[in-house]
A = this chain, B = another copy of it.
């Protein structure tokens, strides 16, 4: 009834007039304790407002019922986890994880000095890890995966990769987007994104392949480094416009970059899709709502998150789950002209 002092299992044992062992087993629904007694003890514990101390439990059981979700920000100094894509991914992951009765621990990594991943792993704060985005930490991930199994990465599938990853077919997605632009008669297609990031570099590969297949020579002046934040992307687009380089389409490697580019174009008095077609990547919620609505390569995050967590739990159970690739879908809207469905 009264619940001022945080009461321990021993207190419940006293109340129920049994030993701690029995209480522990009863609360764990261990059939070693007869059913009616189990219920009785559970009732007493609940009534007393008793809750198992998770720190003690974690120590003894060597598991925490917690999954760590890590956002390596090594490549970007901006601290805030603000990108809508990451945010949505996080929400979906959280859903999948909590549904399975686990807690979600957010690990925002800013200090990617030697051994950062090992420090997280060895802290034993979580039973498994999801790493969202490889950032520039491919090597560190490869190394950690050698000895730590319950780890799944969202990102591109790279050469010589030993860790388990889930991600969209970046090359294929990009290829499809650029093919679509080419199909509309566009020939001078700018590429906006940070080639240093593995996923982006794969998208670049798709871009190059599409151009090559169409027999179009690629122009380095059309490849523009652009970070993920709206402001920096806007700046990058503005510079492209002011450089005087001719272009009639933009393949942006994220929707945020695409939206920033559209705004920059509008500010420069250029019509989208009249003069310039724009395609984004991710198909975040705003994409459909923007003006004009954005054509984008859709990543199925719901499925992605589910796959990640499925694989993670398999690995936590000792099974050896392989990487998975999701198929992207081009969602055609007004931002690139034309009207065919993709």
The 8 Å CB contact of A107, one of B51, B87, B103, B125, is B103
| Interface residues on chain A, size class | 35 or more
Nearest residue (CB) in B for A124 is: B53
User: With a CB–CB cut-off of 8 A, which chain B residues contact A62?
Assistant: 55
User: With a CB–CB cut-off of 8 A, which chain B residues contact A6?
Assistant: 122, 124
Is A242 part of the contact surface with B, judged by Cβ < 8 Å?
no
User: With a CB–CB cut-off of 8 A, which chain B residues contact A118?
Assistant: 3, 49, 51
Q: How far is the CA of A289 from the CA of B288 in the complex (A)?
A: 12
A283-295 Cβ-contact flags toward B at 8 Å (1 or 0): 0001001110000
Given A106-B104, A107-B103, A290-B289, A52–B95 Cβ distance below 8 Å? no
A166-210 Cβ-contact flags toward B at 8 Å (1 or 0): 000000000000000000000000000000000000000000000
Within 8 A of B (CB), among A22-43: none
The interface of chain A, by Cβ under 8 A from chain B, is: 3-4, 6, 46, 49-56, 58-59, 62, 64, 66, 79-82, 87-88, 91-92, 94-95, 98-99, 103-108, 110, 115, 118-119, 121-125, 147, 259, 286, 289-291
**Which 6 pairs of residues, A with B, have the shortest CB-CB distance?**
A51-B122, A55-B58, A104-B106, A55-B59, A291-B291, A98-B108
